[in-house]
Structure 1
Amino acid sequence: MGRSSDAFDYQGILTHEFGHLTGLADNFVLDFTKEVQTMYGYASPTSKVVNGVYYIESYQLRSIEADDIAGKNALWN
């Protein structure tokens, strides 16, 4: 099943919100070298730029990466 151009990816959004439950904050520095940026603060159903702000596709929030784990460990260890 393909992605709809007007629907958020629930797995991506829930993974991002789970990061907040563990204490992680939004990251507003976009790293174009990474495919997945779980805690990036701007997401939409499609990639776009609005008023100079780049929004990534919500499916790009789907997985917990090494930097997310390091952030959690810094808060909880």
Structure 2
Amino acid sequence: MNTPISCEFYDQLMVVIQRKIPSTIVYLENEQTATVKGVVTELMMIEYEEFLVLEGGKKINLQTIFLFNGKRHKEI
């Protein structure tokens, strides 16, 4: 079940997209933590799930992100 994404997190994402701020994202991938650095270019919906898209096209489901630029957004 998906949990709602906080307005604060959306606001943070909008700022980094508009200003093209390089970001560090820690998220779950295949039940393990993964870290990626890059510039977030957009947010998109794919089959009712929200994703951020990095330069180069990598998509990360917002539900899997627990640290974004050092700020915790959910527990592992």
TM range (shorter): 0.3 to 0.5
* Structure whose residues are more often strand by fraction: 2
TM-score, normalization: structure 1? 0.32
* Structure whose residues are more often helix by fraction: 1
Specify which structure has the bigger relative contact order, considering alpha-carbon pairs within 8 angstroms and separated by 6 or more residues: 1
